């Protein structure tokens, strides 16, 4: 006979006895550092920020990532905005402006100058003097024209090409500073035959430039018939702001450049005598010629022509 034994039902609750431990979760591997694209580099600070993850707010919630910076709408550094807002390309460095004339301290007006134009006879000194006076006068400037021992024999500036103008005769006792101050306004002086002025008068011309703002343009010979410098010319060389040798070529009878003045007395070149002699003296025929250095030293006059001689060393 079969023994049927009913097995008691298995409890549905947890098994008796010590609790079984669940297996531990596998460790999480650290995040791999970001790999930079080829050709680029990541700074240590950027790598640390990536490993740290997004910032955590108080309470444990993550903060949203910061919004990317808006693209700049400013123009590139190579342009600037005009008042209307349109970009204009920047030009290169501005060209240097022409130097301003030197001004007298505290006056705001350009400084005056003393210029000496020199050369042998026939080089156009008086012609240039007349032209400069014309140029200044037509611009509204007021000036005086001075001369001494002009070839005309009177108070005039005359040129060998026929130009002429009345002038003030400069006597040895004439105070040029007083002459200018006697006028209400004088802007410039044209001083022809300045080589015949006194040294004191040359000093006065320099004073008029420096203390009174008067431009002075002096014209004259540099040396006498002995090839010695006139005292007034020497002082002008020493004091002038600019010294200009006239470039009009004068020729000796031989065709070489004529640079020296020769005094001829009765057909013979003189070596001695007064420094300045005008016209005839003691019944002797006196005139002046231009010679090259070679023929001046040799006292060779060559063939004389009326157009080559002058009664005045000017």
- Residues designated catalytic: 193
Both structure tokens of 300:
């060779």
Cβ contact 110:103 at 8 Å? yes
Query: Are 262 and 286 in contact, with CB atoms under 8 Å apart?
Result: no
DSSP percent split of the chain into helix, strand, coil, nearest 5: 20, 20, 60
Rounded to an integer, what distance in angstroms lies between the CA atom of residue 162 and that of residue 94?
A: 50
In the structure encoding, which two tokens stand for residue 64, read together? 């949203």
CA–CA gap between residue 222 and residue 224 (Å, rounded): 7
The secondary structure of 112-171 as a DSSP string is P-EEEEE-STTSSHHHHHHHHHHHHHTTT--EEEEESS-TTSSSEEE-TTS-EEE-EE--
Beta-strand pair 268-269/242-245: unpaired
């Amino acid at each position: 006979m079969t023994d049927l034994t009913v097995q008691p039902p298995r409890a549905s609750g947890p098994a008796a006895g010590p609790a079984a431990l669940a297996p531990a979760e596998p460790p999480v591997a650290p995040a791999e550092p970001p790999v930079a694209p080829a050709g680029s580099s990541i700074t240590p600070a950027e790598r640390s920020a990536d490993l740290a993850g997004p910032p955590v707010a108080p309470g444990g919630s993550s903060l949203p990532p910061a919004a990317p910076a808006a693209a700049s709408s400013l123009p590139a550094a190579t342009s600037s905005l005009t008042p209307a807002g349109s970009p204009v390309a920047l030009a290169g460095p501005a060209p240097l402006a022409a130097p301003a004339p030197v001004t007298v301290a505290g006056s705001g007006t350009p400084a005056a100058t003393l210029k000496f134009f020199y050369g042998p006879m026939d080089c156009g000194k008086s012609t240039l003097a007349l032209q400069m006076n014309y140029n200044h006068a037509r611009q509204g400037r007021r000036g005086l024209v001075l001369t001494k021992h002009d070839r005309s024999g009177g108070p005039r500036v005359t040129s060998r090409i026929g130009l002429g103008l009345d002038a003030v005769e400069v006597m040895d006792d004439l105070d040029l500073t007083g002459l200018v101050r006697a006028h209400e306004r004088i802007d410039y002086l044209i001083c022809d035959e300045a080589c015949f002025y006194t040294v004191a008068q040359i000093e006065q011309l320099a004073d008029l430039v420096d203390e009174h703002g008067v431009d002075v343009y002096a014209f004259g010979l540099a040396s006498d018939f002995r090839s010695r410098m006139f005292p007034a010319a020497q002082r002008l060389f020493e004091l002038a702001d600019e010294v200009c040798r006239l470039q009009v070529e004068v020729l000796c009878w031989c065709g070489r450049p004529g640079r020296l003045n020769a005094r001829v007395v009765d057909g013979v070149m003189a070596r001695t005598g007064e420094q300045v002699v005008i016209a005839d003296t003691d019944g002797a025929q006196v005139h002046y010629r231009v010679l090259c250095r070679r023929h001046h030293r040799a006292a060779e006059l060559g063939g004389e022509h009326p157009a080559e001689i002058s009664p005045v060393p000017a």
